[in-house]
A and B are shown apart, each in its own frame.
Chain A
Amino acid sequence: MKYQPVIGLEVHVQLLTESKIFCGCSTTFGAEPNSQTCPVCLGLPGALPVLNKKVVEFAIKAGLSTNCSITPRSIFARKNYFYPDLPKGYQISQFEDPICQHGWLDIAVDGGELKRIGITRIHMEEDAGKLVHGELSGPGDGSGVDLNRACTPLLEVVSEPDLRSSDEAVTYLKQLHQIVTWLGICDGNMEEGSFRCDANVSVMPVGSNILGTRAEIKNVNSFKFVKQAIEYEIQRQIDHIEDGGTVVQETRLFDPNSGTTRSMRSKEEAHDYRYFPDPDLVPLVISREWVERSRLELPELPEQRRQRFMDKLGLPLYDAEVLTASRALADYFEAGVAAHGNAKAVGNWIMGEITRALNDSGTVIEACPISPGLLAELLTLIDNGTISGKIAKTVFDEMWRSGKAPQAIVDEQGLVQVSDSGAIESLIDEIMAANAGQVDEYRGGKEKVFGFFVGQVMKASKGKANPSVVNELLLHKLKG
C-alpha cells in the first residue's frame, strides 16, 4: 500500500526583546547562572507578572507577516505542570483566544508551484529555565537549576497539518525562519534554541481522507534534523502498520546522533495541563489602530522584495531568491545598486566574491568590511576600463584586507590597465622573438598555441595589459 504523510509543525520563536516577557530582567544569553533573575522570574511568593509591550508588538508583526488576524481581546492562560525548571509550577501561555489566528504562508513546492500552508495560531508565552546536570561545583551528584532563561519571551507558531513531505516541512520552516529574522524579532539561531521546532507526523493510505494517529516529535533543532526526523518517523510508522501494528498517540524524542526517534511518553502519561485564564493578567486589548500602525511599520517582506527585484531590477528568479536570503543582504544589494546602477553586475559580485569572502572568513553581511559604495566604485573601475575583471579580484582582496578604497589601491600598486597598443606591441615582439618555435607551430596551423602567447603577454605585463587589446594585437602579429 502507498502512504501519504501528514505533517504539522509547532515552532518556538525566541523573541529579541531586551527584557523578559513578564519582568525587567535581561534576556542576554550565556550569563552566570541565575544572575538574570528577580522575584517574578524566580516565581517567589507574592510576585506578579507585568506584560512587556514589546512582546505584543513583535507578535503582531509576526501575525501580520503570516496573514493572521489579530485577536482584539486575547487572554493569557496558565499551563500547569510540575518541573524543577518551571519556577511557578505553571507556564504563562495563551490557550483560548491567542493573539494571532487563521494565517497562512505560501511555499514553493516541486516545480515552483505555490502551496498554501495554514497557520492555526500564534501565541505568546514564557520560556522555562534549564537544568544543569553534573556541572555543580558543590558536593553530591545533584542537578542545578538555572533560571536565566525563565520568563524569556517566545512565540509559538502552530501550522495546520497541511504539509505532505519532509521537503515541504523544511521549505515552510525556512520561510518562517526567514520572516522572523527579517522582521528582526528573532535571531534565528537554531543551535542556541532561538528557533526550535516540534513536528506532528502521521501517515494515511493514499486516497484516504481519514488522518492517521500522530506522533509529536520533539527536539528537532536544525533544518537537516527536521528532514531526517520526519523521514525516519514516516518510515517507522509505515513499517509498523505494514507489520500489522497500530500507531499510538505519543510524544517522541529525536536523537540527532542516530537520526532516529524514541518514545518519550504515551497519551496516557500525557499531562493534564489544567489551562485556565491567568487571574494575574488582565485581558490584552489590541485596538484596530494599533494593528494598523504595526502594519505601516512592517518592512517590505522577503516575498514582496523578491518580486520587486525581478520586476523592477530585472533579476532572474534565482538571483532574486539568493539576494533576499536575509534582509541585511537585500539591503546591501540595494545600496550597491543605488550607487552603481547595474543590478546584474552588483548581484553577481555579491553572489560571487562577497559571498565567498564572507564564507571564508566566517563573517556575516552586516559586518562586511567592504561597503556597498566601495563595491560600486570597484565596479565602476571595471566599467571604465581602468582595471580588468581579473585585476579587480586582486583589488577586491586588498579592499577586504585593508578596507581601503579601490582607486587608492589601484594607484598605490600601479594596477591601472595597460591599453596603450604601443607598449603591448613591444611586449608581443619580445615574446615572439623568444619563442620562435611556438610562432612556427601556430603558423603551421596549431591554433591552440594562441593561448600560450596570451598567457605570456599577461604575465609579462603583470596582469595589467588590457586582455582584448592583447588578443587583437596578437592575432594580427601572429598571422604575420
Chain B
Amino acid sequence: MSIFDMTIHELHTALKEKQISSVEATAALLERIEAVEPHVGSFITVTPEQALADAKTADHLIAQGQCDLLTGIPLAVKDIFLTEGIRTTCGSRILHNFIPPYSATSWEKLRDRGAVLLGKLNQDEFAMGSSNESSAYGITRNPWDTTCIPGGSSGGSAAAVAARQAIATLGTDTGGSIRQPASHCGCVGLKPTYGRVSRYGVIAYASSLDQVGPLTRDVADCAVMLGALAGHDPKDSTSVDTPVPDYSASLRQGVKGLRIGLPKEYFIDGLDPDVQKAMTAAIDTYRRLGAEFVDISLPHTDYAVATYYLIATAEASSNLARYDGVRFGHRAEADGLLEMYTKSRSEGFGSEVKRRIMLGTYALSSGYYDAYYVKAQKVRTLIMNDFSAAFAHVDVMLTPVAPTPAFKIGEKINDPLQMYLSDIFTIPVNLAGTCAMSIPAGFSASGLPIGLQLIGRPFDEATVLRAGFAFEQATEWHTRKAAI
C-alpha cells in the first residue's frame, strides 16, 4: 500500500511503530499532490515548506514518545479556514491577497495535536455552490471521472481525499457542502450538530447554518477527527458547552435494534435509479445487521430549499459587507469612497456571490422583511419540529445525500435553480441544526460513487458514527479507490 492510500489509523500505526517518519509521509503526499493536481485541481495553495516543518516537529514529538492519533498526519483544509501567515482566499478574488493574522480554532485544535498542513483546498466562492465551479481559482474535477464535478462547496476537500492528496481534510457545510461532495467523491463526510464545533476563524457564509466537519476515508477516521474538533470555544458564542463523548469507543456497538427512519419525502419519483438502487441495497444491509426500519414523514421538506435560500442569503448579504476594500482584501483604484466600494466589490466577487448578496439584501429590505425573512424563520421552526417529532420514534434516519451522482462540469452552472435542487436532501438538516453523515454506499452504472446520508439527533453524532461504522464493516464501497 502506498503511504498516500493510508487512513489516519494506518498511518498512525506506521508512525508509532517507526516504520516511517512524518517527514517521509508528508513528502509522499506532496509528491502525490504534484502528480495528480493537474488533473484534479483540489488545492488553491499547497504549502510544502509549512508541511515539512510541521512534519519535522511531529517526528520530534514521536521520538519523545508523544504520538497522538493525529501527530504527524498530513491533512489539508478548505480555504475557508483562516491559517495564520498563510493566504486564505475562500475561493474569492476579493481575498486574493489576504494573509490572516490568526488561525481558526478548528484548525488550531488539529495542529495542537501534531497534524501537518499540506495546503488550502479549493471550494466554491464563499462556500456558495454545489459544484466547485464558482471558485475564482479554477474548477476542481471529480477524481472518479474528471469530466464531472466533485460537488461543492467543499469540493476540493472531497476530491483531495478521493485522489489521495491528503489523509483527511476539513470542510464546512451550510446546506450540504460536506456531505454532497463526500457523496460524489466516495468518501466519508460529517456535518456535526450546529454548535458542536467552533466557527471562530472560519469565514462566514450563513452564520446560523455553517458548521465545520471532517472528510475522511472511513468512519473510524471520521470519529477521530470529530473528537479532535468538537467542544466549546469561548470565542464562539454559538458553540455549545456539552461534553464530548469518546466517538471511537462506541463505534463497534452495532446496530441491532437500532430504529432507522425512512422519511417518505426523501424517496421521491425523480430520484436517480442508481441512487434508488443503492438505497434499497443499504436498507437490506442494515436489516441483515438487525436494525429496524420505521416509515416516517418530515412534512415541511418541500419548503426547505426556498427557506434556505432566504435565510442563508440574508445572512450572507450582511456577512459579506466587510469585504469593502477598506482594511484588507481587494481594493479597486477609485476616485471616491462610493466608487471604491462598488468597484472593489464588483471586481472582487463572482456572479453566484453577487446573486446571493442581492437575494439576501432584498429579503431583509424594509417592506419585504416580514414576507421573506420572518416567514422563512417560521418555516425553519416547522422544519425543526418535523425532525424532533420524527426523532421521538427513530434513532437515526437514512436518506440519499443527493438525488443524482455527480453531474458533468458545466451542466448546471448556468441554471442556478437546478443547481440549488442538488442540495434538496441535505439542506433540511442544516435548517434543523442537527448532525448527518455521508458514507459510500455504491456506484452508478457509469462508475460514479453514491453516498447515503445518516441523520442523527442533535449532538448524537455517536449514534450516526456507530451506524455508519456498522455499514462500512458489512460493505466494501469505502475501500474502492478512484483510478486517478
The verdict on A358 contacting chain B, using a C-beta distance below 8 Å, is no
**B203-230 toward A: CB 8 Å interface, digit per residue (1/0)?**
1101110000000000000000000000
A89-B329 Cα distance, complex, nearest whole Å: 14
CA distance A280 to B314 in the complex (A): 14
Assembly CA distance A282 to B82 (angstroms): 23
Residue of A nearest to B201 (CB): A46
CA distance in complex: A50, B199 (Å): 13
Given contacts A46-B199, A88-B321, 15 further A-B contacts (CB under 8 A): A39-B102, A43-B327, A45-B90, A45-B95, A46-B202, A47-B201, A84-B324, A84-B326, A87-B326, A274-B318, A274-B361, A274-B364, A276-B373, A279-B206, A279-B238
- Identify which of A44, A78, A84 contacts B100 (C-beta below 8 A): A44
- What count of chain A residues pass the 8 Å CB interface test? 28
* Contact partners of A87 in chain B: CB under 8 A: 322, 326-327
Q: Which residue of B lies closest to A45 (CB)?
A: B203
List residues of chain B with CB within 8 A of the CB of A89.
Answer: 318, 320-322, 324
Asked if A280 and B322 sit within 8 Å, CB to CB, the answer is no
CB–CB B100/A274 < 8 A: no
Select the residue from B82, B90, B238, B322 with max chain A CB neighbours within 10 A.
B322
Q: Determine whether the beta carbon of B98 is less than 8 Å from that of A45.
A: yes
Closest to B342 in A: A82
Taking a contact as CB atoms under 8 Å apart, the answer to whether B364 and A46 are in contact is no
Whether A48 is near chain B, meaning CB under 8 Å from some CB there, is: yes
Give B235 Cβ to nearest chain A Cβ, in Å.
6
A281 within 8 A of partner (CB): yes
A49 at the interface (CB under 8 A from B): yes
A80 nearest in chain B by CB position:
B318
10 contacts between A and B (CB under 8 A): A45-B98, A45-B322, A45-B323, A50-B237, A87-B326, A89-B322, A274-B364, A274-B369, A276-B373, A280-B238
List, in ascending order, chain A residues with CB within 8 A of B236's CB: 48, 50
Within 8 A of B (CB), among A402-461: none
**B13 beta carbon closer than 8 Å to chain A:** no
| Contacting residue for B238 out of A39, A47, A90, A282, CB 8 A | A282
B54 within 8 A of A: no
Residues of B within 8 A of A39 (CB): 101-102
Which A residues lie at the B interface, using CB under 8 A?
Answer: 39, 42-51, 78, 80, 82, 84, 87-90, 145, 272, 274-276, 279-282
Given A87-B327, A274-B365, A276-B364, check contact A43 B322 (CB 8 Å).
Answer: yes
Report Cα–Cα, A50/B236, bound state, in Å: 7
B153 CB to nearest A CB, Å? 16
B308 in the interface (beta carbon within 8 A) = no
The CA of A39 and the CA of B322, in the complex, are separated in Å by: 12
Q: Annotate B69-90 by CB proximity to A: 1 below 8 A, 0 otherwise.
A: 0000000000000100000101
Give complex CA distance A46, B326 in Å: 17
* B200, CB-defined interface residue at 8 Å: yes
In the complex, what distance in Å separates the CA atom of A14 from the CA atom of B269?
61
B447 CB to nearest chain A CB (Å): 38
- Which 6 pairs from chain A and chain B are nearest by CB? A89-B321, A279-B208, A274-B364, A279-B207, A46-B201, A45-B203
Contact of A46 among B100, B318, B323, B365 (CB under 8 A): B100
Q: Is the CB of A272 within 8 A of B327?
A: no
Shortest C-beta distance, A78 to chain B (Å), equals 5
Distance between Cα atoms of A72 and B82 in the complex (Å):
36
B318 adjacent to A276 (CB under 8 Å): yes
Which of A42, A88, A276, A281 has the most chain B CB atoms closer than 10 A to its own CB?
A: A276
In the bound assembly, the distance between CA atoms of A73 and B314 in angstroms comes to 23
Give the CA-CA distance A262 to B242 in the complex, in Å: 56
B125 beta carbon closer than 8 Å to chain A: no
Across-interface contacts of B238 in A (CB, < 8 A): 48, 279-282
Q: Using Cβ atoms and an 8 Å threshold, which residues of chain A touch B328?
A: 44-45
Give the complex CA separation of A6 and B94 in angstroms.
49
Q: State in angstroms the CA–CA spacing of A44 and B208 once bound together.
A: 18
CA distance A3 to B44 in the complex (A): 69
A51 and B321: CB pair below 8 A?
no
In the bound complex, CA of A46 to CA of B102 (Å): 10
A282 touches B326 (CB 8 A): no
Cα A276 to Cα B363 with chains together (Å): 10
Chain B residues contacting A78 (CB-CB under 8 Å) are: 318
| CB-defined contacts of A276 to chain B, threshold 8 Å | 314, 318, 364, 369, 373
Establish whether residues B237 and A46, one from each chain, have CB atoms under 8 Å apart when the complex forms.
no
Query: A304 vs B207: C-alpha distance in the bound complex, in angstroms?
Result: 47
Give the A-binding residues of B (Cβ under 8 A). Answer: 82, 88, 90, 95, 98, 100-102, 104, 199-204, 206-208, 234-238, 314-315, 317-318, 320-324, 326-328, 337, 341, 361, 364-366, 369, 373
**Whole-angstrom distance from the CB of A287 to the nearest CB of chain B?**
18
Q: Are B234 and A145 in contact (CB under 8 A)?
A: no
Q: Which among A44, A82, A145 is the interface contact of B101 at CB below 8 angstroms?
A: A44
Minimum distance in angstroms from A103 CB to a CB of chain B: 28
A42, A50, A82, A90: residue with the most chain B Cβ atoms closer than 10 Å = A82
Closest-CB distance, A133 to chain B (whole angstroms): 12
Contact in complex: B101, A46 (CB < 8 Å): no
Minimum C-beta distance from A276 to chain B (A): 6
Nearest CB of chain B from residue A384's CB, rounded to whole Å: 63
> Which residues of chain B are near A51, meaning CB under 8 Å?
237
Whether B321 lies near A46 (C-beta < 8 A) is no
- For B324, list chain A residues within 8 Å (CB): 82, 84, 89
Residues of the B chain whose Cβ atoms lie less than 8 Å from the Cβ of A47? 200-201
* C-alpha gap A281/B341 in the complex (Å): 27
- Specify which chain A residues have a CB less than 8 angstroms from the CB of B199 in the assembled complex: 46, 48
Chain B residues, CB < 8 A from A275: 364
Q: Which residues of B contact A282 (CB under 8 A)?
A: 237-238
Inter-chain contact A82/B341, CB cutoff 8 Å: yes
| Complex Cα spacing A84 to B101, Å | 21
Residues on A with C-beta less than 8 A from B104 are: 46
Q: Which residues of B contact A279 (CB under 8 A)?
A: 206-208, 238, 315
Q: Given A84-B326, A90-B318, decide whether A45 and B100 contact each other with a Cβ distance below 8 A.
A: yes
- Residues of B contacting A44 in the complex (Cβ-Cβ under 8 angstroms): 100-102, 322, 327-328
Complex Cα spacing A89 to B204, Å: 14
A30 to B422 alpha-carbon distance, docked (Å): 54
* Given known A45-B82, A45-B98, contact A90–B321 (CB-CB < 8 A): yes
- Please tell me if the beta carbons of A48 and B237 are within 8 angstroms of each other in the complex: yes
In contact, A80 and B101 (Cβ under 8 angstroms) = no
- CB closest residue in chain A, given B126: A45
Report the minimal beta-carbon distance from B92 to chain A, rounded to whole angstroms.
Answer: 10
* Whole-angstrom distance between the Cβ of A189 and the nearest chain B Cβ: 28
Compute how far the CA of A274 lies from the CA of B373 in the bound complex, rounded to whole angstroms.
11
Which residues of A sit under 8 angstroms from B321, Cβ to Cβ? Answer: 80, 82, 88-90
When distances are taken between beta carbons in the complex, the residues of chain A under 8 Å from B206 are: 279
Per the bound structure, the CA–CA distance linking A45 and B97 in Å amounts to 13
Q: B residues within 8 A CB of A281?
A: 237-238
Q: How far is the CB of A73 from chain B (nearest CB, A)?
A: 15
**Is A80 touching B327 in the complex (CB atoms < 8 A)?**
no
When chains A and B are docked, how far (Å) is the Cα of A275 from the Cα of B365?
A: 9
Within 8 Å CB of B235, what residues of A? Answer: 48, 50
How far, in whole Å, are A47 and B88 apart by their CA atoms in the complex? 14
Cβ distance B423 to chain A, nearest Cβ, rounded Å:
19
A50 to B102, CA, bound (A): 17
Task: State in angstroms the CA–CA spacing of A26 and B414 once bound together.
Answer: 49
- Closest residue to A34 on the B side, CB-wise? B327
- Give chain B nearest CB distance to A256 CB in angstroms: 26
Question: What residues on A are CB-neighbors of B364 within 8 Å?
Answer: 80, 274-276
B88 touches A45 (CB 8 A): yes
- The answer to whether B322 and A88 touch across the interface, beta carbons within 8 angstroms, is yes
In Å, the complex CA distance between A234 and B322 comes to 40
Which A residues touch B90, using CB under 8 A? 45
> In the complex, what distance in Å separates the CA atom of A23 from the CA atom of B90?
24
> In the complex, how many angstroms separate the beta carbon of A469 from the nearest chain B beta carbon?
75
Give Cα distance in the complex from A320 to B160, angstroms.
77
Measured between beta carbons, the chain A residues less than 8 angstroms from B203 are 45-46
A77 CB → nearest B CB, Å: 10
Q: Which residue of B lies closest to A38 (CB)?
A: B102
Collect the chain A residues with CB atoms within 8 Å of residue B237's CB.
Answer: 48-51, 280-282
